[in-house]
Each structure stands twice: as C-alpha cells, then as structure tokens.
Structure 1
Amino acid sequence: MTGIGTLAEGPLHAAVKQWLARPGDRVEVPVDRFVIDLVRADGELVEIQTGGFGPLGPKLDALLDGHRMRIVHPVPAERRIVRVDADGVVLSERRSPKSASVLEVFDRLVAFPSLVGHPHLVVEVLLCREDHVRGPAPVRSTGNRRRTKDPGTRHLDAVLARHEVRRPADALALLGVDVPEVPFSTRDLAALLGAPRVLTQRVVYCLRLMELVAPAGRDGRTPLYRRV
C-alpha cells in the first residue's frame, strides 16, 4: 500500500520498513496529527530514523505518554561503494574501509538521552550491511578543490544484528567494556572503546543525562567523570 509519507523516503528507509513488517501491521498510518511509519498489530508505533533523532521530538512529546513507541535506527556496520552511470549500470564495486558500530546510536541519542528508560520507549539499533550507490565520479563541492560531496543513496543488503535499549543499563551495555570506577576523562574512555573522541564525548553526555556517570572533578583543565 502506498502511504502518505512513502514518496519522500529513501531506499534504506523503505527496505528497513519492509524488513520489519509483520502480518497485521499497517504502514504510513495517521495517528493524531502525525504519520507513523509502521503500526504493529498490538498497537506499538514504529518509527524508522536513518538520520538524527531531533526531528522525532514533536512526535515523542505528543504521543509517547499515550502510546508504546519504538525508534529503529540502522547503522552501516559493513558497506560497499557501488558506482553507477546515468542509466543505473554498475561501473565499479568496492568494500568501503569505513564502518560504524553500535556506539553510533549515542550520536543520535544526544537529542533526548533522558527519555531512555521511559516505560513506553524502545530504541532499536540495527547493524546492517549496506550498499552506498553513487554516481560515476565524486562531485566536488563548490568553491573547494579538495573536498568532494557524493553521499549517494543507502541500500539495505542484510541486517547483521539488532540491539534494544529499553533502560539506561541497556545503553551502558552497548559500550562492550566496563566503565572505570576510578575517575576518567573522555580521552581515557575513547582509548578503552577504540572510538573517536567526539563520539566518546557524546557517549559521556548521554550517560550523564541517564545518571550512569557523574562529574568527578578535573585533572588540570580536563573534566573527569566517575561511574555512578
């Protein structure tokens, strides 16, 4: 069935929705003044968010207290770069050296970390194998000879794993390591996680709002944190 919001969705969004759908589910369903990606037969509202979580704010504010809601976020754990010509003929394929981990969800959770643990909210992370389909050559950004802008489109190949976050402890478990009990900096945690510093700063921000870590003074000008 073609729904109200299907014309604007990308191929990854459409494929994830199809992958999630079960018998009895309805797609693109008006609920109050919003359109929901998928409504389960048991009434759960499912929203697929391939980008940031910020745009979901109005829906959560209006619907979360009265409805069970699930936010599904696909992460490209493996990706292949596929270049095609104007007719869609494949010119080349290669595996991208870039990959993302389940920690990427913290980059999105900064929009509302304090909602984690709400009895009606589940955040589900899908680790995916994706094809990133792009044009025959990178497109250079206007006025910049070095940078190129060629995001292409994301296509789902397979779902490799799925993780649910229902409460703050589930978010902590996504780290895959024990947060130190002694004071630590974001640099210390980044080394432990093997993650970029900026992403680790967002992890710590979310954990603070979830009351899982707390400030623990400073080492010179560097803020320190401790596990609660």
Structure 2
Amino acid sequence: MSKISTLNEKPLHEALKRWYAQTGDIFEVSVDGFVIDIVRGDLLVEIQTRNFSAIKRKLEKLLIDHSVRLVYPIPRKKWIIKLADDGNSPVSRRKSPKHGSFEHIFEELIRLPELLKDPNFSIELLLIEEEEVRRYDGVRGWRRRGWVTDERRLLRVVDKLILNSPTDMQAFIPTTLTEPFSVNDLARATDNSRRMAQKMVYCLRIMGCVAPVGKRANAILYARRTTE
C-alpha cells in the first residue's frame, strides 16, 4: 500500500480514506487532469463528504473512460461539540436528536440521479457515527446563532451499502407498499418526511425505477418499473 497523503484534508475525509484503504491501493493519483482519492486496480474511488454538486462535473468527465465509485458517509448518530473562544477547549458536547439512514442519500442524489444509469458508476454508502465540531463566528454563523461547523470527526463506521445500478434502488421501495402509490404513501411506508419522499420519487423516476400511472384526487400515483 502506498503512503496515504492527507495534505489539506478535513479530518472526516482523511479518516474515511484510511478506513477504506486496502493493500495495493494508490492514493492521490492524477487521472485525466483530476486528482483521485484512491485508485484500486481499474476502479477510481472518490470520497465525498460535501454536497454532490461540487463533484458532478468531475464524475461526468471521469466516467467517459473509467469505472468510478463515489463513497458517501451518512451520520447515523452525531455528537455536537462547541469550542470556547480560544478555538481549542470544548465547552459542551451533546448528542444530536437526528438519526440518519441510507434513505438520506436522496438528499444529495437529486443532484445527479442520472449517473447511476451509467454502468461505470457506483455509490457506496457508509452509515457512520461522528462528532461535529462547531466554533462561534458571528458573521458566518448567523443562521445558527453564530455557530459554524469547523470540522467533522469519524468515530466509527456502523454499516455500508453499495448501489451499482437503478435495480439496486428498488430496495428503497418497501415490498409492503401497495401499487399504485403516492408520495404520501411512500413517506408513510418508509417513515420519512413528505419532502424526503418527494426527492426519492424524483430520483427513482429519473432512474426508471417508477413511473406515473394516474392520479388520486390531485396526487400523482406511481408504480414500479422493471429495471435492467
């Protein structure tokens, strides 16, 4: 295994790269004008801890000639640490009431849902436990009463899921969900918000996993489609 470069990397990205690494991997390799996190044989691995818009163009270019896997962490549990004015001493640590799940990939997948139709593309989801470190910045942090996220720290990886094609996305539609179904039906069946269910349906439509088949009052109804 070649040495893992961590220059200018955020702690979460660095920790995930170390966790993901295998013997024989090569790190920080230039491919087609882009620096790749990990090269594993013919597979290019990119670890993305921010939104997908920042990496969409890079993926589209690389997929023309390469197999690419996007690794994305979803916080199953999170502890929030607030730092004192010195920027080093923690003044509080509390557990966030929010719990992530694999379905939260749709929060980002709406930015590039068509890519999973490319046979060269796959996504690996990592359910993690993390710490989010915040510090006070009255200018940048006005949306959070002055607090901004300084860094994220990996505590552990608790589960993973690989999505290779639209067929794999069918698993997000509960087998108990009766067809045809509405966005509200999907939200109830998956125990998610309507907003999340809307994003799920949008992505699943783009991927060809579901199709509109009618209406119930003003609600569009959908049915599963067979994907290849």
- State the TM-score bracket (shorter-chain normalisation): 0.7 to 0.9
Residue number in structure 2 paired with 1:216? 213
Q: What percent identity do the matched residue pairs reach?
A: 38
Quick one: which of 202, 205, 221 aligns to 2:202? 205
Shift of 1:142: 7.7
State the alpha-carbon separation in 1 of the partners of residues 176 and 217 from structure 2. 22
Quick one: which of 145, 154, 157 aligns to 2:155? 157
Shift of 1:89: 2.3
Task: Give CA deviations for 1:198-224 in whole Å, capped at 9, x if unaligned.
Answer: 111110011111111111222232222
SS in 1 for 2:175: coil
Residue number in structure 2 paired with 1:52? 51
State the alpha-carbon separation in 1 of the partners of residues 69 and 144 from structure 2. 41
Residue number in structure 1 paired with 2:167? 169
Shift of 1:53: 1.6
Quick one: which of 169, 180, 192 aligns to 1:183? 180
State the alpha-carbon separation in 2 of the partners of residues 146 and 37 from structure 1. 32
Name stretches of at least 5 consecutive residues in structure 2 with no aligned partner: none
SS in 1 for 2:148: coil
Distance 1:178 1:189, change over 3 A: same
Letter of the 1:104 counterpart: H
CA contact (8 A) 1:6 1:28 kept: no
Residue number in structure 1 paired with 2:128? 128
Length, aligned pairs only = 222
State the alpha-carbon separation in 1 of the partners of residues 114 and 105 from structure 2. 14
1:14 aligns to 2:21 (yes or no): no
Task: Give CA deviations for 1:171-193 in whole Å, capped at 9, x if unaligned.
Answer: 221x2622634222111111111
Matches within 5 A, 1:85-124: 85=84, 86-124=86-124
What's the C-alpha RMSD, in Å, of the aligned pairs? 2.4
CA contact (8 A) 1:141 1:149 kept: no
TM-score (norm 2): 0.87
Shift of 1:147: 5.0
Letter of the 1:162 counterpart: K
State the alpha-carbon separation in 1 of the partners of residues 141 and 130 from structure 2. 31
Distance 1:152 1:196, change over 3 A: farther
CA contact (8 A) 2:177 2:189 kept: no
Shift of 1:139: 5.3
CA contact (8 A) 1:44 1:69 kept: yes
1:82 aligns to 2:81 (yes or no): yes
CA contact (8 A) 1:180 1:227 kept: no
